[in-house]
Structure 1
């Protein structure tokens, strides 16, 4: 039975089960569980729960005690499901029932790394889009043929069900959720505290090649910083390549290898992120937002914001503008 609770911050509950991965648990706790005095308000009400009083974590690293029982999952607005390295072992029925109840009442479900297997085993992913860690892609396709697996991406946002590939992608998805719930400005503040990139699009590749660089330094950091200071200017791929003193083809290869995306896609994402911040800070003239971000026209701003965030500028202002906070 769903527990009725008083109105307050969005409630995030993580189910921890036997052999859960500590890293993804830490990511969820860091993003959703910490107090945010620098923001001035609590973003989430956060709780851990487990079907057993004592839960041995992966490889017996440590045993988790002192958390709520599984009934806490019945009051979650967002439920993060358990993962573990042995994906062949079925989840206990009580955990799967908790996931099904949460889905039935409209809670948002999140699977990190092998958590996609838990969601699939609960039967809530049939016909839906999802991702999982690349090393389990073949196993997932074999065991869950009804799920539309998108392999080799960081995370998939399918509305009320979100999945991440694991490891650092759990942070990417967590920040994406914060951005979806609270806007780009708040997500940026959380990412700064994490000392982590504020925005990596879910469609970026899981595996990014990082060869030992030859001299001269091939880092993209200087050209990225240069471009971020000039988003209101005409910036083309040839211009970025010229700034980096390489050919456009070489620039494309470096973006793919270091960021897992293309120069144009990165530039568009940066411009949309800046547009979101300007709207959150109170700029209501969308033609001005478009001009200051290099997106050109209000029509182009609407198209690209909707594509990148799922919201048009007017909807975004209603949800995240100054009066909404």
Structure 2
């Protein structure tokens, strides 16, 4: 299964409702409209309808000197296929107390059963305060990680990643990671080709490497230290062959230990995890954009065998190569 949320119907696009509160970050609000608003089918039909609502219709303060006027109130939540919660800085934002205001709790209670929830940055505090993240993995901006852990010990916080997909509930790190999350949802709903086109139109990377660890202040590396960037570029050009860690380290003129440490510091994940992500992306692109048999797709993406590709697709996307191709080919 590729998506746990309704994809809309043949008569209407998937409806994304953005719930804004006083102190909403304008960047978060804008990026949701930007990414989902640019997703189109092969025939040019919009794939999403993005609407904004507030706890009550009327003016809403933002994190800038530019207020906004929101025409829709919380009852709009009833029509949402996906609800997005941007970050906000206001007394009801739960980032100090861990408690929802009665108005915010009532708004969340209005959402339609089966709708998907996503948060950007400190929007995760709202989902956690509502009990929607208990026992689940989640993330938020690294700057607020310790506060989040203190307020919500039942949540399995991972502050090192850009976003976390728990099926019907997704969370992301700081504002720019909201772009990564929205592109991930487009990719999950409509495939890599549609998401890549949105990324091109928005002039962002279709899939950023690594996690938040690369953005946390670190000691400046010595001038003699070598980056792993050239090795990563070489690996991307040779995904169809085995790429053992020892060979990658040798090409970077480093020991395995040094290469692994530097790779994680630069990218935010271990070399093996990064390679798996890149191989999966290559396989998805080939399944969507070529007629190659599954065993050839597996070979070109570096999985070796069709059985290996099937196992990895099942583990990450809960689908098979043939089902993925049938769902996303030609969208």
Normalising by the smaller structure, the TM-score range is 0.7 to 0.9
Equivalence for 2:75: 71
User: Is 1:176 equivalent to 2:169 in the alignment?
Assistant: no
Residue pairs, 1:173-252, within 5 angstroms: 173-200=181-208, 205=213, 207-208=215-216, 212=220, 214-215=222-223, 218-252=226-260
Superposed displacement of residue 289, structure 1 = 0.7
Q: CA 1:204–1:100 in 2, change beyond 3 Å: closer, same or farther?
A: same
Residue pairs, 1:17-96, within 5 angstroms: 17-34=21-38, 40-50=44-54, 51-58=56-63, 60-85=64-89, 87-88=95-96, 91-96=100-105
Superposed displacement of residue 48, structure 1 = 1.4
Is the 2:17–2:51 Cα contact (8 Å) retained in structure 1? yes
Superposed displacement of residue 200, structure 1 = 4.3
TM-score (norm 2): 0.84
Q: CA 1:56–1:119 in 2, change beyond 3 Å: closer, same or farther?
A: same
Equivalence for 1:111: 119
Higher mean C-alpha deviation, range 158-167 or range 117-126: 117-126
User: In structure 1, what is the Cα distance between the partners aligned to 2:34 and 2:19?
Assistant: 15
User: In structure 2, what is the Cα distance between the partners aligned to 1:14 and 1:292?
Assistant: 40
Q: CA 1:69–1:254 in 2, change beyond 3 Å: closer, same or farther?
A: same
Q: CA 1:310–1:204 in 2, change beyond 3 Å: closer, same or farther?
A: farther
Superposed displacement of residue 8, structure 1 = 1.7
CA RMSD of aligned residues (A): 2.9
Residue pairs, 1:115-130, within 5 angstroms: 115-130=123-138
Equivalence for 2:139: 131
User: Is 1:9 equivalent to 2:13 in the alignment?
Assistant: yes
Equivalence for 1:98: 107
Structure showing greater relative contact order (alpha-carbon pairs closer than 8 Å, 6 or more residues apart) = 2
User: In structure 1, what is the Cα distance between the partners aligned to 2:314 and 2:39?
Assistant: 31
User: In structure 1, what is the Cα distance between the partners aligned to 2:65 and 2:235?
Assistant: 44
> SS of the residue aligned with 1:137?
helix
> SS of the residue aligned with 1:15?
strand
Q: CA 1:315–1:299 in 2, change beyond 3 Å: closer, same or farther?
A: same
User: In structure 1, what is the Cα distance between the partners aligned to 2:19 and 2:210?
Assistant: 24
Q: CA 1:311–1:47 in 2, change beyond 3 Å: closer, same or farther?
A: same
User: In structure 2, what is the Cα distance between the partners aligned to 1:39 and 1:229?
Assistant: 32
> SS of the residue aligned with 1:159?
coil
Is the 1:209–1:257 Cα contact (8 Å) retained in structure 2? no
User: In structure 2, what is the Cα distance between the partners aligned to 1:198 and 1:35?
Assistant: 13
Q: Flag structure 2 segments of 5+ consecutive residues without an equivalent.
A: 1-7
Q: Flag structure 1 segments of 5+ consecutive residues without an equivalent.
A: none
User: In structure 2, what is the Cα distance between the partners aligned to 1:111 and 1:66?
Assistant: 19
Moved over 6 A (4+): 201-204
Superposed displacement of residue 66, structure 1 = 4.8
Is the 1:208–1:260 Cα contact (8 Å) retained in structure 2? no
Higher mean C-alpha deviation, range 131-140 or range 223-232: 131-140
